[in-house]
Chains A and B, each alone.
Chain A
Amino acid sequence: MTRDDAFAQFLLRMGDNTLILGHRVSEWCGHAPVLEEDIALANTALDLIGQTQMWLGLAGEVQGQGKSADDLAFLRDAWDFRNVLLCEVPNGDFGRTLMRQFLFDAWHSIQLGRLMKSSDERVAAIAEKASKEVAYHLERSADTVVGLGDGTEESHRRMQEALDYLWPYVGEMFQSDEADAEMVKAGIAPDPASLREEYDALISRILSDATLTIPDSSFAHKGGRTGAMHTEHLGHLLTQMQWLQRAYPGAKW
């Protein structure tokens, strides 16, 4: 694997995470439990789509095959997507959506903090811009997880169920491969495993405030960030997201 291949892989991972999660969050539009949440969810989705444009734009540049961010978003098939599985699991109820957001935001904020020191200026600049948005996402999702975890008996139960369901998808964010090793060597991105300690400390604090229990299992599903095996859900998501571009090839929108 050349360094550019590894770099492109890394950028796809960043951009596909934000693309797929942004898409999932946008599915809530007009259906949230309160108006303030409708606004906040749309805002989160909007930030994530904006970040996607930057990450995938740079990925296209590094690949050097003349592909735009839109080409990458709308014209790849599932096996070429590199997002972690956590981002593609269906929304479930509002509790699961917010728990997924929190578990991702916590990782995302730490990752972006490290990427601000990247040896690649373009990566550092994107991370800098995104980290401000993500700090706000994390503040909001953490507050909501605490509020609902430590709310009523029902909200507590639902949040614990959400955590139990999503927990096996957390570990993948910290797995690494050859491409990651290449990024570490080039000083572009940190070793994913090196984020775990800070992550565990952060989520333990919030989840304990939320009176929730982290499942006693370190089992982790994998296959998203390598593209080896996505969930069945991704294909359906892409079917919807890519439909117009696929049905009317070459049209300008």
Chain B
Amino acid sequence: MYAQMIKSEATQDDPEKLAAFQARIDAGEKIEPKDWMPEGYRKTLIRQIGQHAHSEIVGQLPEGNWITRAPTLERKAILLAKVQDEAGHGLYLYCAAETLGVSRDEITEMLLDGRMKYSSIFNYPTLNWADIGAVGWLVDGAAIMNQVPLQRTSFGPYSRAMIRICKEESFHQRQGYDAIRKMAEGTPEQKKMAQDALNRLWYPSLMMFGPSDKDSVHSAQSMKWKIKMNTNDELRQKFVDQTVPQAEYLGLTVPDENLKWNEERGHYDYTDPDWSEFFDVIQGNGPCNVDRLADRNKAWDDGAWVRDGLLAHAKKKAARQHAAE
């Protein structure tokens, strides 16, 4: 889940219009950009889609960290293709946000100066090659959990972006699982890398779904508007249930002593992540927050002359064409 703790905006619109809007949503209709919508709906969506888009963009960094060290040509190609997909996801999502009246430059500035967030997961480092497999397996896996239901979200452009993105995310997850399987079945050192990756990334992956339902105060309105489809704990449980047997198949140990199948519930019991760590990361104190933002800011600042140059050229070209007509 790339959007965490999205605050829904209270809304002060005409009650009649609101009721008609809610009726459309309840009837399963899609809301399109030109339709009337409550200001709170629009603002909440900008925040959620923006956070998702920023996550795709910042998410390039921990994976890009291994592109130049990928161990085979094929792995390098797979990783390049994945990171390219993620940048493409960012692009679709920024376009979806633009339909709500916020330009890509505006929303980018909000990421760069810290007004908007991205998923906490990308503030964790990738330290060995198995992390690349683990990211595909766990991080893309967790993202899919959330994004598959969002294909049915009420906002048309967001729903369509999700449909396109989900296909690629499942592909990433399969490739990630394949990469970590190679490691888990490999030499003792490779197996150690795979276990180390799971040890470090397990709880941060669980955090991707956001705080516990009991502490999640913004969900009700978003669920009513169908921009959030399931509660955080529902999705987290689903993720644990899906992932534990996969870890077992790999011969890897999930770092949770309390993990066990609960026959009565039909689910695994598991330990929640350390929420104080989660809030630290959200506040900017994760292991990589400062570096990630500095990287994005540097890319943006260093690229200013390129953006200006290309824009100036486009204007000159248009002027020349105009003069020739």
Chain A residues packing against B (C-beta within 8 Å)? 19, 23, 26-27, 29-39, 42-43, 45-46, 49-50, 52-53, 56, 69-70, 73-74, 93-95, 144, 146-148, 150-152, 154-156, 158, 240-241, 243-245, 248, 250-253
Does B10 make an interface contact (CB < 8 A)?
no
Given contacts A42-B81, A158-B305, A253-B129, list 10 more A-B pairs with CB under 8 A: A26-B76, A26-B80, A29-B63, A30-B87, A39-B91, A69-B73, A73-B73, A151-B312, A154-B305, A156-B309
- How many A-B residue pairs have C-beta atoms within 8 angstroms? Tell me: 150
- Chain B, Cβ-Cβ closest to A39: B87
- Chain A, Cβ-Cβ closest to B104: A35
A-B contact pairs, 7 of them (CB 8 A): A19-B73, A30-B60, A33-B299, A38-B84, A45-B80, A253-B71, A253-B186
- Which chain A residues border B313 with CB–CB below 8 Å? 146-148, 150-151
> Secondary structure at chain B's binding surface: helix, strand, loop or mixed?
helix
Minimum Cβ distance to chain A for residue B311 (Å): 8
Minimum Cβ distance to chain A for residue B108 (Å): 9
- Which chain A residues border B305 with CB–CB below 8 Å? 152, 154-155, 158
Complex-state Cα separation, A42 to B84, whole angstroms = 6
- Which chain A residues border B300 with CB–CB below 8 Å? 33
Complex-state Cα separation, A166 to B222, whole angstroms = 55
Minimum Cβ distance to chain B for residue A138 (Å): 18
What 0/1 pattern do residues 64 to 82 of B give for CB contact below 8 A with A?
A: 1001111111111100110
Given contacts A49-B77, A248-B190, contact A30 B299 (CB under 8 A): yes
Given contacts A148-B310, A241-B69, A252-B182, contact A36 B80 (CB under 8 A): no
Option from B67, B71, B316 in Cβ contact (under 8 Å) with A74 = B71
Complex-state Cα separation, A147 to B316, whole angstroms = 10
- Which chain B residues border A95 with CB–CB below 8 Å? 306
Minimum Cβ distance to chain A for residue B131 (Å): 13
Complex-state Cα separation, A69 to B189, whole angstroms = 24
Q: How large is the interface on B (under 10, 10 to 19, 20 to 34, 35 or more residues)?
A: 35 or more
Given contacts A33-B303, A53-B74, A93-B302, contact A152 B309 (CB under 8 A): yes
Complex-state Cα separation, A155 to B311, whole angstroms = 11
Option from A32, A39, A42, A152 in Cβ contact (under 8 Å) with B299 = A32
Contact A155 B308 (CB under 8 A): yes
Complex-state Cα separation, A38 to B181, whole angstroms = 29
- Which chain B residues border A253 with CB–CB below 8 Å? 71-72, 75, 129, 182-183, 186
- Which chain A residues border B309 with CB–CB below 8 Å? 147-148, 151-152, 154-156
Does B281 make an interface contact (CB < 8 A)?
no
Does B187 make an interface contact (CB < 8 A)?
yes
Does B166 make an interface contact (CB < 8 A)?
no
Does B61 make an interface contact (CB < 8 A)?
yes
Given contacts A70-B72, A151-B309, A158-B305, contact A29 B182 (CB under 8 A): no
Complex-state Cα separation, A241 to B76, whole angstroms = 10
Complex-state Cα separation, A147 to B295, whole angstroms = 26
Contact A46 B80 (CB under 8 A): yes
Does B260 make an interface contact (CB < 8 A)?
no
- Which chain A residues border B303 with CB–CB below 8 Å? 32-34, 37, 94
Minimum Cβ distance to chain A for residue B66 (Å): 9
Does B90 make an interface contact (CB < 8 A)?
yes
Option from A31, A46, A150, A151 in Cβ contact (under 8 Å) with B295 = A31
Contact B68 A26 (CB under 8 A): yes
Complex-state Cα separation, A222 to B101, whole angstroms = 54
Does B307 make an interface contact (CB < 8 A)?
yes
- Which chain A residues border B77 with CB–CB below 8 Å? 46, 49-50, 53
Contact B68 A240 (CB under 8 A): yes
- Which chain A residues border B80 with CB–CB below 8 Å? 26, 29, 42, 45-46, 49
